[in-house]
Structure 1
Amino acid sequence: MGKNEELEDKSIYYRYRKEAGYTREKASELLDMPVRRIEKIETYSQDATPLDIVKMAKCYKKPNLLNYYCVHECDIGRDNIPEIATSELEHIILETVDSLNEMAPQVNRLIQIGRDGRVTDDEIEDFAFICCKLEEITLAVDSLNLWVKNTSLENKLNGELLKKYKDKLN
């Protein structure tokens, strides 16, 4: 196995293109991107642009590619965007319910802490715990949203109908 082949095997861009069933030539056509550029992105010999990633995520039906790029390759996102795990629906729901249950008793404490508009030293420990639980809930919601996008793209969920009902509620 040559050096480029070893790198390609480790490249998420290569794997997702292959999982979508595309040759580089076909991906080039669909992405409106030169074959050589796709190869360079897949072997990490050239950085992808955000627009490249948006096109790939859509073409390969892998919305989690956007989060991967932001977390691992974007200078801004690397330190500011959490990685969203792709999980099965049952796991996402259990994590969400667990985090909500742990947070519920803390609601009154959060109100007490926030009442004066500041966090004092004697409140920091409780505040840190609450912040961590809220971050867990946020990640669970992000994971659920990613699951919905993936499942919709795989035609295993009626995304249009879900959007219709969500829009009605908003």
Structure 2
Amino acid sequence: MGKHVTKAAGNVFAEARYQAATFNDRLFSREGASEELGIDRSRLARIELGSKNPFPDEVLMMADIYNAPELKSYYCKNMCPLGKDFPDVKLEALDRISIKALSSFRKISAAKELLLDITEDGVITENEKGDLNEIIKTLDEVSRITQSLKIWAEKNLE
């Protein structure tokens, strides 16, 4: 069994590997994980120590082998220059996701009516811009919750 490397503590890729080692003994060591992933052990070490960013295909392999779909979202939000503006999605328990979803469904109903009022004349006035921004915030919230539920389902239903 490999040891839990303290220098990599807190690194999402190392933590995902440690978590996955509970169901795949080969992942306790970097050697075993690098063989499973098909990448060099020293490259995996640099990724886990934070001195190198993984390539997108490496993240996909880690997400699959570690059963950690949240790694894809983390990579896109924090490491990919195209995803910097994407909402931050976290892995949460199903009950928390459900409560947040129900709350946002209530908000979406109000946003729907407001959007109809704003757009009915085909012109968005200065007075309506603030309301439109609030509608966009509500839709962003729904998007985050949707992504969180997708991650939960991918992790727990396969």
Q: Which of the five TM-score ranges fits, normalised by the shorter chain? A: 0.7 to 0.9
Cα distance between partner residues in 2 of 1:57 and 1:114: 42
Change in 2 beyond 3 A, CA 1:115/1:7? farther
TM-score, structure 1 as length reference:
0.80
Aligned-residue CA RMSD (Å): 1.5
Q: CA deviation at 1:100?
A: 1.2
Hey, what does 2:7 align to over in structure 1? 7
Cα distance between partner residues in 2 of 1:105 and 1:31: 47
Q: CA deviation at 1:109?
A: 2.1
Equivalent residue in structure 1 for 2:41, among 35, 43, 50: 35
Equivalent residue in structure 1 for 2:77, among 71, 74, 79: 71
Cα distance between partner residues in 1 of 2:130 and 2:155: 38
Say which SS state the counterpart of residue 61 (structure 2) adopts. Answer: helix
Q: Where does the alignment leave 5 or more consecutive residues of structure 1 unmatched?
A: 154-170
Hey, what does 1:95 align to over in structure 2? 100
Residue identity opposite 1:93 in structure 2 = S
Residue identity opposite 2:49 in structure 1 = T
Give the length in aligned residue pairs.
Answer: 148
Residue identity opposite 2:65 in structure 1 = C
**2:57 matched to 1:51?**
yes
Hey, what does 1:147 align to over in structure 2? 152
Hey, what does 2:116 align to over in structure 1? 111
Q: CA deviation at 1:6?
A: 4.3
Q: CA deviation at 1:145?
A: 0.9
Q: Provide runs of 4+ in structure 1 moved above 6 Å.
A: none
Equivalent residue in structure 2 for 1:122, among 124, 127, 132: 127
Residue identity opposite 1:16 in structure 2 = A
Hey, what does 1:164 align to over in structure 2? none
- Percent of paired sites with the same residue: 27
TM-score, structure 2 as length reference:
0.86
Cα distance between partner residues in 2 of 1:10 and 1:41: 12
Q: CA deviation at 1:94?
A: 1.1
Change in 2 beyond 3 A, CA 1:45/1:105? closer
Cα distance between partner residues in 1 of 2:149 and 2:124: 31
